[in-house]
Structure 1
Amino acid sequence: MPELPEVEIIKRYIHEQTVGKTVASVESLLPRMWRNCPPQVAASLVTGQTIEAVKRRGKYLIITFQQTSLQLIIHLKLTGRLIYRSTATVERFDRILFYFTDGTLLAYGDVRTLGALYLFESPKQIDLKAYLQMGVEPLSQSFTSGKLYELTRRSTMPIKPFLLSQQYVAGIGNIYADEALFLAHVLPTRPADSLIESETKALHRALRKVLRDSLARGGTSFRDYKNGAGGKGQNQEHLLVYGRGGKPCMHCKRPLQDMTLRGRHTVFCSHCQK
């Protein structure tokens, strides 16, 4: 699933390419991708609107429009992608198409169709529980080591599920949780409230580092992730533990362990992470 860096990269590109463009029409090739309104209603509300901005909150993309309070919220889930094309070319797995008056196109594609598009008439009408209950953005100024320490006092769940829950820290997924916990030398099974202040400082530094490094490398691409231009990132070539179960640890050379922790595949070094 695309995580914070991947969604942020898509957001930046789509914002740059589409701000000021006016929607000429909307084509719903798979109507059920609209989760909270009929496709005909979505098309009637969005057609004729000019894009004001593309934003991100956690793993969600938010498109706002000029002279209206409409909010188009998109969650990519496992295989969703949002791609801008300079020509109105339709490709396999495209599900929702936004045609612009200048002949360009914004395509929402999804292989497994697990993603979702929501349209709300104003921010006050947004009723997505997971969206409304998201925690602090990990690259924001408000996310300090002190804030992370305070948040971990509130939960006895293992630290990795804590990071994945989204209600404490937004946008962290399986990849960056494994990578950050390895850099911070923290076992993923440790109860969140068992971390002492120095450990949360190390985890805070590690989280920001793995996210920033991935942003600089264009995100992590395995099977389905593509950026807003349809290209792939390079961060997968630099991962230390994620997807490397059984291979030698980059630090101590011992075999990396893997396990299922609350339903999520988890890789760690039992020697380096204590």
Structure 2
Amino acid sequence: MPELPEVETVRKGLVRLVQGKTIASVTVRWPRIIELPEVELFQEQLINQTIETIERRGKFLIFKLSDFDLISHLRMEGKYEFSQEPQTPGKHTHVIFTFTDGSQLSYHDVRKFGRMALVPKNSSSSYKGIVQLGPEPIVSEFKKERFEQQLKKSHKAIKPLLLDQKLVTGLGNIYVDEALWEAKIHPETPANLLSETEVIALHQAIIDVLARAVEAGGTTIRSYANALGEAGNFQVSLHVYGQTGLPCNHCGIAIVKTKVAQRGTHYCPQCQVRKGDD
């Protein structure tokens, strides 16, 4: 699944490719992709809309149009492809935006889990999937004091708590594992049992890991590629995710894989000792 660094890289690529272009027509080949409004109106309202810019909130892309916000979530395997001229749609091409200059932006999704919604201009922050998101994982928004207060209120294991997007947005399976390893915290440790030192370390690790991944263009696991068709390269910097059996870069003990909240989870059994088992 594309996580924040991958989505941010897609956003940057799309800005380079389609910013300033005006939509001539829209073809929806899989109606369930469209949440709002009904498909015919979605296609009609997008005609003659110009893409002013593209923003991101958590894992959501927000196309800022002349009169609307077009919200897009890639879910598991959604991706955009741009072409300078019309292309024959493939089996997994579900939405096609044709621009007035003849170029096209196509949305592809093998599993058809991605979603789009067209909402009034500047109202995307009220959209149901965005309104409950926590702060972006950057220093100016993600405050350590608030983070610590929220953790102390929860008995939930730290990994699924970080995955629910309410404490901080943008973290998925890969980067939660990496941040917890960097902070030396076991993924099943109850949040309220973390010490102040561990909270500080985790807070910084989340910011650092995601910033490095954004700089590297994301992580290529299976099918991820950005809007320019380029693969991210953060996978060469992964310390635990997908490293089962390899030595921990901290202590040399083999990385293990287990399941936490039904998610494949990687950690070091020596550096990341679980609390709350007594």
TM-score, normalised to structure 2's length?
0.92
The CA distance in 2 between the partners of 1:261 and 1:220, in whole Å, is 21
Matched letter for residue 12 of structure 2: R
Tell me what 2:47 maps to: 47
| Residue pair 2:177, 2:267 contacting (<8 A) in 1 also | yes
Tell me what 2:84 maps to: 86
Tell me what 1:241 maps to: 240
- What's the % identity of the aligned pairs? 38
Q: CA deviation at 1:127?
A: 6.2
Q: Secondary structure at the match of 2:129?
A: helix
The CA distance in 1 between the partners of 2:201 and 2:51, in whole Å, is 40
| Residue pair 1:164, 1:177 contacting (<8 A) in 2 also | yes
Q: CA deviation at 1:183?
A: 0.5
The CA distance in 2 between the partners of 1:154 and 1:138, in whole Å, is 20
The CA distance in 2 between the partners of 1:222 and 1:98, in whole Å, is 27
Q: How many residues align?
A: 272
Task: Give yes or no for the alignment of 1:62 onto 2:65.
Answer: no
Give the gaps of 5 or more residues in structure 2: 274-278
Tell me what 2:230 maps to: 231
Q: Secondary structure at the match of 1:131?
A: coil
| Residue pair 2:85, 2:104 contacting (<8 A) in 1 also | yes
Q: Secondary structure at the match of 1:10?
A: helix
Tell me what 2:12 maps to: 12
Give the gaps of 5 or more residues in structure 1: none
Q: CA deviation at 1:203?
A: 0.8
| Residue pair 1:14, 1:83 contacting (<8 A) in 2 also | no
Q: CA deviation at 1:107?
A: 1.3
| Residue pair 1:120, 1:126 contacting (<8 A) in 2 also | no
Tell me what 1:35 maps to: 35
Tell me what 2:171 maps to: 172
Q: Secondary structure at the match of 1:35?
A: strand
1:109-258 alignment, distance < 5 Å: 109-124=108-123, 128-258=127-257
Change (3 A) 1:143 1:90: farther
TM-score, normalised to structure 1's length?
0.94
The CA distance in 2 between the partners of 1:74 and 1:94, in whole Å, is 15
Q: CA deviation at 1:153?
A: 2.1
The CA distance in 1 between the partners of 2:34 and 2:2, in whole Å, is 20
Tell me what 2:24 maps to: 24
Q: CA deviation at 1:94?
A: 1.6
Matched letter for residue 81 of structure 2: I
Q: CA deviation at 1:87?
A: 2.6
Q: Deviations over 1:55-112 (max 9, x none)?
A: 111111111112x1x1211110101012332332245322101111112111111011
| Residue pair 2:69, 2:124 contacting (<8 A) in 1 also | no
Q: CA deviation at 1:135?
A: 0.5
The CA distance in 1 between the partners of 2:59 and 2:210, in whole Å, is 13
Matched letter for residue 74 of structure 2: L
Change (3 A) 1:245 1:91: farther
